[in-house]
Amino acid sequence: MALIKVTDRDGIEHDVEGNPSFTLMENLRDLDYGVAAVCGGMCACATCHVYVDAEWLPRLPPMHSDERDLLSDLSTFRPNSRLSCQIKFAAELAGLKVRIADDE
């Protein structure tokens, strides 16, 4: 297990034990912090949108065009936006800091 530092929509920080065999979304969706993941990780809904801490952003795998296209259509898009379903969590990402994005 590796820690994920999650800030919810109320600004409250939580330390979550992440499972490295899951995506970031799968690690977050069963918590009550606002990751609905309606499409189940098919890169089709953006309800798994998170903001990644600037320090961590370059350490994540690059975005594919599908993810970029979906995110860029959101009014809540920011330069540090990512879809958590497109990020495979891994032990090397222990300490990853994300904030759950605002509802669209």
Interface contacts to ligand FES, rule CB under 6 A: 25, 37-39, 41-48, 83, 85
Closest separation between CB of residue 14 and ligand FES, Å?
20
Closest separation between CB of residue 27 and ligand FES, Å?
12
For 10, other C-beta atoms within 10 Å of its C-beta total 8
- In the complex with ligand FES, which residue's Cβ is closer, 41 or 95? 41
The CB-side HSE value for 21 (13 A sphere, CA atoms) comes to 0
d(CA 99, CA 93): 15
Closest separation between CB of residue 48 and ligand FES, Å?
4
Beta carbons within 8 Å of 75's beta carbon, 6+ residues apart: 104
- In the complex with ligand FES, which residue's Cβ is closer, 83 or 101? 83
- In the complex with ligand FES, which residue's Cβ is closer, 45 or 63? 45
d(CA 5, CA 68): 24
Closest separation between CB of residue 40 and ligand FES, Å?
6
Collapsed DSSP state (helix, strand, coil) of residue 46: coil
Looking at beta carbons, which residue is closest to ligand FES?
Answer: 85
